[in-house]
């Protein structure tokens, strides 16, 4: 083993000299926060971290997670340096500020970060969660009633009236559907009376409807369009809706957050990752 030179001073000098004299220590090296001891008897090296005995840590080691853009910006403004950078991950819907990032001529530990995860809103989760799911007319009516506050066109009142009508038409057999020029669908049915076909009727429903939803928590509302679809099978009616290009809505909402981050974290270098 190569002997290690003693490069200690100050408070540690006496301890080192005593160790060398009494404990079979061959050599000692002390850096800023590291003590390396070489034992002569077993040729063993021991490494001690002295940082815990210092008045303050040598560097910040922290990974903080926030849920609001304003908190992310505030943290950046407080700790960022000229080498700090931000990573934008669309797939994870996440922004990560690396405070102690690498510089071209100065590698860094990258142990001080702040992450902002864009969480989807409750209303988006509700509508997106049932997107494309088939519902019988009663279940669909109940769903529309429960979430009518999010509906813009047709009006919430009109959609609730359609829902109530659907609930009332439990004992009917639906036979046909026709798309009208005004953008509605006309469903033909006849009532069932003691197992026989009774009076005929018509029910009109919108071909599509629009919602006002926040995509991310704390974000602005977006106009979300959905197509209303139906199926008639042996006289039974089922509904489902299809949100038009939901992935584009998520991308656009993420870009809006990126704009807020770029504005708040002025001068920040933002890298697209993922």
Read off the pLDDT of residues 77-135 as tens digits, 9 standing for 90 and up: 999 999 999 999 999 999 999 999 998 888 989 899 999 999 999 999 999 999 999 99
Give the model's pLDDT for residue 257. Answer: 97
Distance, in Å, from the CA atom of 122 to the CA atom of 268, rounded to the nearest integer, reads: 31
pLDDT in tens, 140-184: 888 998 999 999 999 888 888 887 777 777 667 777 677 777 778
Nearest to 48 by CA among 24, 22, 15, 18: 15
pTM of the predicted structure, to 2 decimals = 0.75
Closest CA to 21 of 1, 3, 40: 40
Contacts of 88 (CB under 8 A, 6+ apart): 94, 95, 254, 258, 261, 270, 271, 272, 273
Report the chain's C-alpha Rg in angstroms: 34
* Among candidate residues 25, 20, 18, 21, the one with its CA nearest the CA of residue 39: 25
Instruction: Provide the pLDDT for residue 195.
Output: 47
Euclidean distance between CA atoms 147 and 140, whole angstroms: 11
Number of H helices, E strands in the chain: 6, 16
Q: Round to whole Å and give the CA distance between 144 and 206.
A: 13
Q: How many CB atoms within 10 Å of residue 37?
A: 20
Write 56-61 long-range contacts (CB < 8 A, 24+): 58/32, 58/33, 59/100, 59/109, 59/111, 59/112, 60/99, 60/100, 60/111, 60/112, 61/109, 61/111, 61/112
At residue 197, the pLDDT reads 46
Beta bridge partners of 208: 227
**29 and 43 Cβ atoms separated by less than 8 Å:** no
Tens-place pLDDT, residues 190-210: 676 554 444 567 778 889 999
């Amino acid at each position: 083993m190569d002997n290690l030179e003693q490069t200690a001073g100050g408070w540690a000098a006496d301890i080192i000299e005593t160790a060398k004299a009494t404990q079979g220590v061959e050599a000692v090296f002390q850096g800023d926060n590291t003590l390396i001891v070489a034992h002569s008897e077993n040729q063993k090296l021991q490494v001690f971290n002295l940082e815990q005995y210092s008045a303050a840590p040598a560097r910040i080691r922290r990974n903080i997670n926030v849920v609001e853009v304003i908190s992310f910006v505030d943290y950046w403004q407080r700790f960022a340096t000229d080498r700090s950078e931000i990573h934008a991950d669309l797939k994870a819907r996440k922004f990560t500020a690396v405070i102690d990032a690498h510089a071209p001529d100065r590698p860094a530990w990258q142990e001080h970060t702040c992450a902002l995860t864009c969480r989807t809103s409750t209303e988006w989760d509700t509508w997106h969660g049932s997107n494309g799911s088939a519902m019988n007319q009663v279940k669909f009516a109940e769903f529309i009633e429960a979430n009518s506050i999010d509906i813009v066109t047709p009006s919430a009142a009109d959609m609730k009236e359609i829902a109530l009508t659907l609930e009332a038409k439990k004992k009917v057999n639906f036979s046909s559907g026709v798309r009208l020029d005004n953008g509605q669908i006309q469903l033909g049915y006849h009532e069932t009376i003691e197992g026989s076909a009774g009076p005929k009727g018509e029910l009109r429903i919108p071909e599509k409807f629009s919602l006002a939803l926040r995509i991310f928590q704390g974000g602005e509302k977006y106009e979300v369009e959905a197509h209303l679809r139906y199926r008639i099978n042996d006289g039974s009616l089922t509904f489902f809706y299809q949100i038009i290009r939901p992935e584009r809505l998520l991308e656009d909402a993420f870009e809006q957050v990126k704009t807020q981050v770029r504005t708040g974290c002025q001068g920040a270098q933002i890298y697209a990752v993922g």
